[in-house]
Amino acid sequence: MFGFDKKKVELVAPCAGQSVALEQINDPVFSQKMLGDGVAIVPEAADELIIAAPATGTVKQLFKSLHAFVICTEEGLDILVHIGMDTVALKGEGFTALAAKGDKVTAGTGIVKVNAAHLRSKDVDLTTPIVMSEKKQVASVDVARPGPVRAGAKLAVVTLA
């Protein structure tokens, strides 16, 4: 009745950087939450990034271009991690898979390696949204305060519907 018994899933930062609200990123599909609620990370200025699973679960989908992946948690929550803006157009250039569809992973397990220096040389915005892609699964997303975040640090708590 009051939601005290609703399940919660804790999300961790998939990489180090700056946590920002979805509304602040430069892509209306994410900033207007068309794909679901969540949070974004502006990755640190490293030459290479490892983008990790934000929660324990199974790699449900690893896009062919490696620019995005979906983790399905034990609770059935689908979490989409989209690496950068408009990166699907790169057709996998600058991305290396570290996991495969069907792999069971824990929060913090590397999923995709990113040649960030190469992508930045092409003026790619590496802001990485983490969204709950199945809106009907989610009652609320409580995001930790915006600002600097370490890889693996608590990023948000999702309350399931």
Domains contained in the chain, number? 1
**Cα–Cα separations (whole angstroms), residue 122 to 14, 64, 90:** 23, 20, 10
Q: Is residue 1 part of a domain?
A: no
CATH number of the domain encompassing residue 123: 2.70.70.10
Confidence of residue 5 (pLDDT cuts 50, 70, 90): confident
Residue range 73-79: average pLDDT? 96
- Put simply, whether the predicted model's pTM sits higher than 0.95 gets the answer no
pLDDT tens, residue by residue, 99-118: 999 999 999 999 999 999 99
Confidence of residue 68 (pLDDT cuts 50, 70, 90): very high
Confidence of residue 16 (pLDDT cuts 50, 70, 90): very high
Active site includes 82? yes
- Distance (Å, rounded) from C-alpha 50 to C-alpha 6? 32
The residue range of the domain holding 94 is 8-160
Output DSSP code: residue 44: -
3-state secondary structure of 46: coil
Q: Is residue 110 part of a domain?
A: yes
**What pLDDT, on the 0 to 100 scale, is given for residue 160?**
94
pLDDT tens, residue by residue, 19-65: 999 999 989 999 999 999 999 999 999 999 999 999 999 999 999 99
Q: Which of 63, 77, 82, 138 is catalytic?
A: 82
The share of the chain scoring above pLDDT 90, in percent, equals: 86
Q: Is residue 3 part of a domain?
A: no
Instruction: List all residues 6 or more positions away from 35 whose beta carbon is below 8 Å from its beta carbon.
Output: 29, 80, 129, 131, 133
Q: Is residue 78 part of a domain?
A: yes
